[in-house]
């Protein structure tokens, strides 16, 4: 298993070693010790989620109040999604920037998103199945969103699916109503870099 830090500090691409034979494939998609060595602290698993999405479904950009935020370790068990980390930490050198990892059932990579980062993905195939390990449980009052099509962020979403056919984007009513990045800043919804750093430092102590 190899770790590669993305252009956004606190986000990592994880590539597992796959063991295949005529029966199929086996892999470990999360390992505690390598995670701790790469990231600097343990992953405190509090909830595991699964979503199944049709081609063109766009989920996010989602984030949670810090502290405690919600770190996510995400992989795609079936199909393919373009997964995106967005830096929503006010005061961060890469604030408003983003990076991507293709999660699919070929390379079977995962992505880790630390507290304070926004998370979104676009399904590139029908029935794409995404598994999330979360550091905190669902808390509606502490969870927010930023519009995934906000031109200020400028995420370059694919226009064709895994089969080469055009994608028709499908967003939830909640995501369609999400504020832009500037609106979220003005409303005081976003975590600050200092808040995130202070909280994350407690995880490694």
Structural tokens at position 3? 């770790």
Token output for 50:
């699964």
Query: Which residues, at least 6 apart from 52, have a Cβ–Cβ distance to it below 8 Å?
Result: 127, 128, 129, 130
CB atoms within 10 A of CB 184: 22
- DSSP 3-state assignment of 196? helix
Q: Is 62 a catalytic residue?
A: yes
Q: Is residue 132 annotated as part of the catalytic site, yes or no? A: yes
Which one of the listed residues 3, 29, 41, 132 is annotated catalytic? Answer: 132
What is the residue whose two structure tokens read 């919600």? 70
In whole angstroms, give the CA distance from residue 67 to residue 89. Answer: 12
Q: Is 77 exposed, middle or buried (0-12, 13-18, 19+ CB in 10 A)?
A: middle
* Distance between CA atoms of residues 42 and 192, nearest Å: 22
CB of 169 closer than 8 Å to CB of 58: yes
The residues that bridge with 129 in the sheet, in sequence order, are 52, 78
Among candidate residues 29, 62, 73, 119, the one labeled active-site is 62
Query: Which residues are identified as catalytic?
Result: 62, 132
């Amino acid at each position: 298993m190899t770790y590669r830090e993305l252009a956004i500090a606190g986000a990592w691409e994880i590539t597992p070693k796959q063991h295949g034979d005529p029966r199929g494939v086996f892999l470990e998609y999360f390992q505690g010790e390598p995670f701790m060595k790469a990231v600097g602290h343990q992953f405190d698993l509090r909830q595991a989620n699964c979503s199944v999405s049709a081609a063109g479904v766009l989920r996010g950009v989602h984030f949670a109040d810090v502290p405690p935020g919600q770190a996510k370790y995400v992989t795609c068990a079936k199909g393919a999604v373009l997964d995106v980390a967005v830096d929503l930490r006010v005061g961060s050198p890469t604030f408003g920037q983003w990076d991507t990892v293709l999660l699919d059932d070929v390379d079977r990579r995962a992505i880790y998103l630390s507290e304070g980062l926004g998370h979104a993905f676009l399904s590139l195939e029908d029935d794409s199945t995404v598994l999330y390990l979360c550091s905190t449980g669902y808390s509606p009052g502490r969870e927010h969103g930023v519009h995934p099509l906000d031109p200020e962020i400028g995420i370059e979403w694919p226009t064709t699916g895994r089969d080469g056919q055009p994608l028709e984007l499908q967003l939830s009513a909640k995501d369609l109503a999400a504020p832009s990045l500037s609106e979220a800043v003005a409303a005081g919804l976003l975590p600050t870099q200092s808040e995130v750093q202070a909280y994350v430092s407690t995880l490694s102590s």
